[in-house]
Structure 1
Amino acid sequence: MRPRQFDLIAFDWDGTLFDSTALITRCIQSAVADVGGTVPSNRDASYVIGMGLMQALAHAAPDVPPEKYPLLGERYRFHYIKCQRDITLFEGVLPLLARLKERHHLLTVATGKSRVGLNEALRSVELVGMFDGSRTADETAGKPSPLMLNELMSEFGVAPERTLMIGDTTHDLQMALNAGCASVGVSYGAHEPDAFHVLEPRHVAHSVQELSDWLATHA
C-alpha cells in the first residue's frame, strides 16, 4: 500500500461534504429581509458561508445595526431549521470517507457551524462516530484564523506538513495557509474557484468523484 502523505484530513462541512450552500444562501437572505436590512445578492450571501454565524450575518448585512444582530441570528436559525432535513450529503461522500478510513487517516471537521448545528447535521446523515474530531466556530476562532486547525493538530499530535484541509471557500484555504497546512479546494460549493489559486491549494476538484480520485493517489 502506498505510504500516506497526510495523517490528518480536515473537511469543511457546508458546501464540501453537505449539499447546503443554496439553502444557507436563501436563509441568510430571508433573515436579513425579516429584520429590514438590504437583502444581499446570491453572490454576497454565499461568500460568507464558512464564517461563524454572527460574523457571516454582519458581513452579509452591513446596514443592519448591531442591536438587531440577536434577532438576525434568530431569524436565520428559524429559516434553516425549517428546511434542514431537505438537504443531505453530496453523492459519493460516504464511499470517499470510508476509503479514507480504510487507509487509517484521521478524519476531522473544521466548520463555521455551531456545535449544536454540526451535531444535528451529523445525526441527520448518520455520520455520528465517523470523524475522529471536530471544531466549530462557536467553540474556537472562526475562519480564516488558523486556530481550528491548530487545535486539531495539537489534539492528535500531527504536524502541519502532515495535515490537509479540504474546503469550498477562500476562508477554508486561507485558514490552511495560515496554519502552514496543505489544502484542496472544491469548486461545487459556495465560492468561485478562480479565487482559490492565489491561496496555493494542491488541487481544485470539480466533483466529489474527482476529489476522491485525487485523494486516492495523493493523500
Structure 2
Amino acid sequence: MRPQRFDLIAFDWDGTLFDSTALITRSIQNAAVDLGLPRPSDAAASYVIGMALYPALAHAVPELPPERYQEMGLRYRHHYLGAQHEISLFDGTLEMLAALKDRHHWLTVATGKNRRGLDEALRLAALQQMFDGSRTADETAGKPNPQMLLELMREFGAEPERTLMIGDTTHDLQMAVNAGCACVGVSYGAHDHESFAEFNPLFVAHSTAELRDWLLQHA
C-alpha cells in the first residue's frame, strides 16, 4: 500500500522528536564558560541547534578561535553526555511513529548530531528499529545544505515531491526548500515558529499530538 502523499518522511531529532533543546543550549553555554569565554545568551545558543557541531560553536561563540573548536567540542560533549539520561522523547512521539510505520511510510532521521551521538540517542530511546534510514552531520554536509535529504531520497528512490521534512528550526526548513521538498515545522523546539513563514511550511504543529493528527490526515 502506497502512502497517500509522502513516501519518505525525514525527521530532525533534537527539538522535534527528542526534548533536548534546553540541555543542548545549557551545554554550549557551560562549554564556553569552561574555556574562559563569554557565556552565550539562550537565544544565541539555541539558534545553532541542528547545525553541525563546529559551525554551531563558531556561530554561538564568535570569540572562539578555530584552533579551540575541538577543545570546546569536547567540553560540550562532556556536559551533554553527563545529563542526557535526564531527557526523553516528547510525549506521544513513539505512538506517532508507530502509526506512520503502519501506513508504510519510510521513516528517516536527518540530524545535526554526529553518528555516534545519534546511535546513542536511538539506543536510549529504544528506537533503533523504528527508522529505515538516517544521516548525520559528520557523514555528509550539515544543514541547511540539502545533501542529507538528497542522499536519503536517493537511497529510497523517493522523489522530492513525495518527501517531507519535519523540524523545529529554520535550518531544517531551509534544507527542505533547498532539496525541493515540502516541510512541516514544530513550534516546541529551538526556534520561534514565526520565523518559519518564509519557508512556506505545510503546517506548524504546536504539540506532538497536533503533528500526529496532521500527518495521519495529510501525509
Name the TM-score class by shorter chain: over 0.9
CA contact (8 A) 1:49 1:56 kept: yes
| Matched residue, 1:52 | 52
**Distance (whole Å) between structure 2 residues aligned to residue 10 and residue 3 of structure 1:** 14
**Distance (whole Å) between structure 2 residues aligned to residue 137 and residue 197 of structure 1:** 25
User: Is structure 2 residue 134 aligned with structure 1 residue 134?
Assistant: yes
**Distance (whole Å) between structure 1 residues aligned to residue 51 and residue 38 of structure 2:** 20
**Distance (whole Å) between structure 1 residues aligned to residue 173 and residue 105 of structure 2:** 20
Task: Give the 3-state SS of the residue equivalent to 1:68 in structure 2.
Answer: helix
Task: Give the 3-state SS of the residue equivalent to 2:77 in structure 1.
Answer: helix
Residue 85 of structure 1 aligns with an amino acid whose one-letter code is: H
Task: Give the 3-state SS of the residue equivalent to 2:15 in structure 1.
Answer: coil
Aligned-residue sequence identity (percent) comes to 68
Where do 1:1-219 residues align within 5 Å? 4-219=4-219
Q: Give unmatched runs, 5+ long, in structure 2.
A: none
**Distance (whole Å) between structure 2 residues aligned to residue 118 and residue 6 of structure 1:** 24
**Distance (whole Å) between structure 2 residues aligned to residue 217 and residue 82 of structure 1:** 39
Following superposition, the deviation at residue 3 of structure 1 comes to 5.2
| TM-score, length basis structure 2 | 0.98
Q: Give unmatched runs, 5+ long, in structure 1.
A: none
**Distance (whole Å) between structure 2 residues aligned to residue 210 and residue 4 of structure 1:** 19
Change in 2 beyond 3 A, CA 1:66/1:14: same
**Distance (whole Å) between structure 2 residues aligned to residue 44 and residue 194 of structure 1:** 17
| TM-score, length basis structure 1 | 0.98
Runs of 4+ with >2 A deviation: none
CA contact (8 A) 1:36 1:64 kept: no
**Distance (whole Å) between structure 1 residues aligned to residue 64 and residue 3 of structure 2:** 52
Following superposition, the deviation at residue 2 of structure 1 comes to 9.3
Task: Give the 3-state SS of the residue equivalent to 1:108 in structure 2.
Answer: strand
**Distance (whole Å) between structure 2 residues aligned to residue 95 and residue 3 of structure 1:** 18
Change in 2 beyond 3 A, CA 1:3/1:51: closer
Following superposition, the deviation at residue 39 of structure 1 comes to 1.1
Residue 49 of structure 2 aligns with an amino acid whose one-letter code is: I
**Distance (whole Å) between structure 1 residues aligned to residue 199 and residue 37 of structure 2:** 32
Following superposition, the deviation at residue 35 of structure 1 comes to 1.0
